Structure 1
Amino acid sequence: MIPRPQSYAPTPHSYVPNTSLNATINLDEEVKLTSTRAERDLQESLAELFSIIVTLDELEKAFLKDAVPESEYTEICERSLRQYKALLADETIAKEFQGLEEFKARWELEVPRATERLRVGMPSTTVTAGSSAPSQPQQQSSSSNNTSGVLILEATQEFITFLDAVKLGLLSKDQLHPLLSDVIQSVNKVTDKDFDNRGKIVQWLITLNQMKATEELSEGQARELEMDIQQAYNGFRSTLT
């Protein structure tokens, strides 16, 4: 007689199910990615950096499409760059971040516009002549002349302050970059002309931006920087005559 096939897999006689076992994992309980406050703060900071990078990339796209006003673009971009630098000033965060390219690779980020903006360290409206300074009519009121005079004086003082800092041996990034940023911003308020050696200001800003905060220029670089900015100052003054 052919045995009737079983409708289920046979259970070995040696196996006895243990019905008293309970699940050790609560599926309704939130999984914690960090165990200490320091780890949580670090993860939050890295998340903020991720958000800043993505925001900058979208902001650049919107600005290129004229979808965001120039003044609003500049404000958001400058704020984002400040936040980015402030976060990476923390050694623990910088160590975990490693570098922009490493961070992008880890999280598979494709953000070419943000990458360029972070490399330069300035909004495109600051880099490009003609973005910040309002066009001036040939005939100006005395009030306009006074305002223009104040802006010229401020720009001149920023140049002198920067050149004095270099002569005094203040050669680290965190000493020079803010001062040179003040120079280009004050210049842009005065003129929209791309005067002689203006591009050298921008190039030195990019060079300083790519240095570590406490890294210093060599003596040779300092002499070259002083000469370039002096020439830029002369070019700036020539636009005022």
Structure 2
Amino acid sequence: MANFNLDEEVRLFTSNADRERYDELATLYGIIISLDYLEKAYVRDSIPQSQYTPACSRLLAQFKTIMKLVGDSVPNLDAFMTEYRMDCTAAAHRIEVGVPATVEHSSEEGVEAAKWVAETTQNFITFMDALKLKLRAKDQLHPLLTDLMSGYTRFKASSEWEGRPKILHWLITLNQMRASEEITEEQSRQMLFDVEHAYSEFFRSLSSSK
């Protein structure tokens, strides 16, 4: 019979790769739980639409990012939730729909504008997360920044926003690079700073226009 030392720490991993995998799975778990709480808070009117929509868009974007990282470890959301006995039907529905409830249930008149806001928010967050995850190559960043710029410029007021020329500058910079070339650490930090500033300005402008 094996002897167990009850004072010995149980390690889930034996290598850095295993540790990263468990960290990613823990992040996925946390995102699902947070999204479930957010959905229930919205249904109960415990959170206003102005706070719910960007928070939900951020979590959905983070979910998409982490699912790319976990890869084959998580074949699908249902399998993950079953394995870890997660009763998060509200989160599962929101992930399946892919947009915040404010977009899903918008009036016909406002649904397109609400959809643009949600998509642009997700594009911002996806790109910022990519930089934080240390993606540096042109072929990794250029498609994400192109999606961001396409959604961003749908808003007529964007021509007056300070963030627009900065995003355009980085898009041009990436355009001039070869697919395998990478930006420097200094460029990445400045790019993240500029995009975060543009993201904040984006929401301030939307709020002031209401």
Structure 1 length-normalised TM? 0.44
The answer to whether the aligner puts 1:84 opposite 2:41 as a matched pair is no
Q: Counterparts of 1:79-158 in structure 2 under 5 Å?
A: 79-90=58-69, 93-130=70-107
Task: Name the residue aligned to 1:227.
Answer: none
Which is richer in helix?
2
Report Cα offsets for 1:149-203 as digits up to 9, x if no partner: xx9xx99xx9xxxxxxxxxxxxxxx88xx58x949x859xxxxxxxxxxxxxxxx
Give runs of aligned pairs for residues 171-186 of structure 1, distance below 5 A.
178=147, 182=151
The CA distance in 2 between the partners of 1:101 and 1:59, in whole Å, is: 19
**Which residues in structure 2 correspond to 1:1-241 (within 5 Å)?**
25-90=4-69, 93-130=70-107, 178=147, 182=151
Taking a change above 3 Å as real, the CA distance of residues 29 and 186 of structure 1, as seen in their structure-2 partners, is same
Task: Extract unaligned runs of 5+ from structure 2.
Answer: 121-142, 157-210
Query: For the residues of structure 2 that align with 1:117 and 1:39, how far apart are their CA atoms?
Result: 30
Greater than 6 Å deviation, 4+ residue runs: none
Deviation at 1:57, TM superposition (A): 1.2
User: Would you say how many aligned residue pairs link Structure 1 and Structure 2?
Assistant: 125
CA 1:55/1:132 → structure 2, altered by over 3 Å: closer, same or farther? Answer: farther
Percent of aligned pairs sharing the same letter: 33
Q: Give distance in 2, aligned partners of 1:24 and 1:106.
A: 29
- State the superposition RMSD in angstroms: 3.7
Which of structures 1 and 2 has the bigger CA Rg? 1
Partner of 1:145: none
Rounded Cα–Cα distance in structure 2 between residues aligned with 1:72 and 1:47: 25
1:48-81 superposed Cα distances (whole Å, 9 cap, x missing partner): 1111111111111110110011111111111111
Structure 1 portions without partners, runs of 5+: 1-22, 134-150, 159-173, 188-241
